[in-house]
Amino acid sequence: MAIFARPSLLPQLACSADAPSGTGARATDADRTHLAALYAEHGARIHRFVRDLLGDATLAGDATQETFIRASKKLALLDPTMKVAPWLFGIARNVSLELRKARLRAGRYIVASSEEHIADAAAPGCLEREYLGREALRIVGAALAELSEERRAMLLLRLDHGQSYEDIALSMGCSLARVKIEIFRAREVLREAMTKYEGTPDRRPR
């Protein structure tokens, strides 16, 4: 189930010949090919994830680049038996946290907004259906913004990216029990928000 079913404007991967490999030497053609393949497979999801966490498309592009730069440095050390997606989501979440902290130190604040997501998600068609879709997304976006960063990240990984509870625990670096509790509580917040929305007497445009 996708919370925001919309395209993601994925930035081009910066992958230079001097990009460091996992061994600390210059990246080989095999390193760059592997990284490019990872980006092609996971880049869009990582970009969407950090965009939802940061609420800023420009910052999301920077965060996506930094995520894969860091991944490129650790590729050679990655356990072949480890799932790649949870590993990348974990890096992406750490990058987004660092960006938030850097902005706070600089006295600049990231204000989460669902307007961009709503514009992306609203498909043309019946005006009433489009309006209701936008309004529902606005309600969901506002509810997500009220969640803590950790709880929001867990919920996005579960609902928008289809990650298992076990994989989310790997990404977040916490226990499986904590993941289940936090996602349950996040779902309750969303459910309450949608119940209020669905209970509105007239949701049609005037």
Do residues 39 and 64 lie in contact, with contact meaning Cβ atoms separated by under 8 Å?
Answer: no
Q: What is the pLDDT of residue 4?
A: 43
Is residue 10 in some structural domain? no
| Number of domains making up the chain | 2
Q: What is the pLDDT of residue 27?
A: 59
Q: What is the pLDDT of residue 193?
A: 86
Please tell me whether residues 128 and 176 are part of one structural domain: yes
CATH number for position 60: 1.10.1740.10
What DSSP letter does each residue of 61-86 carry, written as one string? HHHHHHHHHHHHHHGGGS-TTS-HHH
Q: What is the pLDDT of residue 62?
A: 92
Do residues 117 and 52 lie in contact, with contact meaning Cβ atoms separated by under 8 Å?
Answer: yes
Radius of gyration of the chain (CA): 19
Is residue 75 in some structural domain? yes
CATH number for position 192: 1.10.10.10
Q: What is the pLDDT of residue 94?
A: 96
Averages of pLDDT over each 10 residues, the chain, 206 residues: 44 50 56 84 94 88 93 82 92 94 68 46 48 70 88 94 96 97 94 80 50
Residue 5 DSSP label = -
Is the pTM here over 0.85, yes or no? no
Please tell me whether residues 45 and 95 are part of one structural domain: yes
